[in-house]
Amino acid sequence: MSTILLTFVASLWLQAVPTQAYRNSQCSYSFEYPRDWQLVKDPTTTYNCATTLRPSDYEKRMAELDVDVFTITVQASGQSFQEAAEDNGFEFNGKWEVLGRMGMRSQAQVSSSRGWLILRGIASVGCFSEKGGYSGLCDEYRVVAKRKDDQILVITGGAKTGTVIDIVLKTFKFLTR
């Protein structure tokens, strides 16, 4: 009963978050994201169909924490589901698992929603201070989703991005060319 109530409350909260729309015409997709987040150019991403999001107060948050647990990358992938899953640290050996640092494994969740097959996991990865140096382990959200027509969506995000990932995933659409 409590799980149903929590799911209901979370769903109402997601509906109440003010969002804005993003459309990537070149890569033929769109999604919504919270108004207090912004699109940024990520210098570490060279793939044209990747979009990077961060909170509008990213610099303030980084001044306080100094470890980036706030950035999300959303991308359309030309790979097969299996290839995209493997490239994002998922492994299937009778069940899906997500791989983390030093061989750490955790169970991945497989679900379907609105015509999507969705593979989700949280990996334990090494995090580093922006000023340099190892800061310990951080959670990293990973999502690989496949539509019925085999189009692939990949989302990765830091430990403080779960709710925003849910919004992006719920509103993501491949556009017809």
Give pLDDT, residue 1.
54
**Does any domain span residue 2?**
no
**Does any domain span residue 112?**
yes
Give pLDDT, residue 152.
96
Give pLDDT, residue 112.
95
For residue 122, what is the domain's CATH number?
Answer: 3.40.1000.10
**Does any domain span residue 85?**
yes
Which one, of 154, 23, 9, 135, lies nearest residue 68 by Cα?
135
Model pTM? Answer: 0.88
**Does any domain span residue 71?**
yes
Give pLDDT, residue 75.
94
**Does any domain span residue 7?**
no
Q: Could you list the residue range(s) of the whole structural domain that residue 138 is in? A: 19-174
**Does any domain span residue 47?**
yes
**Does any domain span residue 13?**
no
Task: Specify the number of domains making up the chain.
Answer: 1
Give me the residues of the chain with pLDDT under 50, please: 3, 5-14
Give pLDDT, residue 86.
97
**Does any domain span residue 27?**
yes
**CB burial string 105-141: b at 16+ within 10 A, e below:** eeebeeeeeeeeebbbbbbbbebeeeeeeebebbbbb
